[in-house]
Copies of this chain bind each other. A is one copy, B any other.
């Protein structure tokens, strides 16, 4: 079982955007540079997050990406579902119905018990993912990281951030 590689990039980028002010954005090229990724690869995953309302894509020469909602309202589950899809990891092929002496469909009114048990476990996984928000990740990062990591993060952030033209004070 393996999540799409894009999940790691998406969570890191969304976490970086969680540290911005509402009138600030970061471009895909800058995010890709900071994480050592190709822009083309990254844009694909950023746009998946745009399509489900996690990120906003602001057009124009000073445009870029920012969170579409509060960092407390974006969870790991939201990002995993956006990037990796929502298909269950266990995909029942109904092999209980295969083989000799087949029965009509109405002999199987319920979902296979094995499928049910596997999906129940996936639900526990999704619930656990939903318990961690981008805000939680940022708070934990700031509380537990080495000072050099935090200083580097600030430097990179300052170099990347683009202020939008707004009427904010």
Contacts and interface: CB of A to CB of B under 8 A. Distances in A.
Interface stretch (A19-27, A50-58, A148-156): A148-156
Contact of A93 (B8, B110, B149, B155): B8
B114 A137 contact: yes
Interface string A23-52: 000000000011111000000000000000
A116 to B, nearest CB: 8
Contacts of A125: 121-122, 124-125, 128
A101 interface: yes
A7 interface: yes
Interface residues of A, number: 64
B132 A128 contact: no
19 contacts: A1-B80, A2-B87, A11-B114, A12-B95, A12-B96, A34-B100, A35-B99, A36-B95, A37-B98, A76-B118, A96-B149, A99-B156, A100-B156, A103-B148, A103-B152, A107-B148, A113-B141, A121-B125, A122-B125
Interface in A114-152: 114, 117-118, 120-125, 127-129, 131-132, 136-137, 140-141, 144-146, 148-149, 152
Contacts of A120: 128, 132
A91 interface: yes
Q: Kindly list the 9 A-B residue pairs having the minimum CB-CB distance in the complex, ordered from nearest.
A: A36-B98, A125-B125, A124-B128, A121-B128, A34-B99, A35-B95, A107-B148, A117-B132, A121-B129
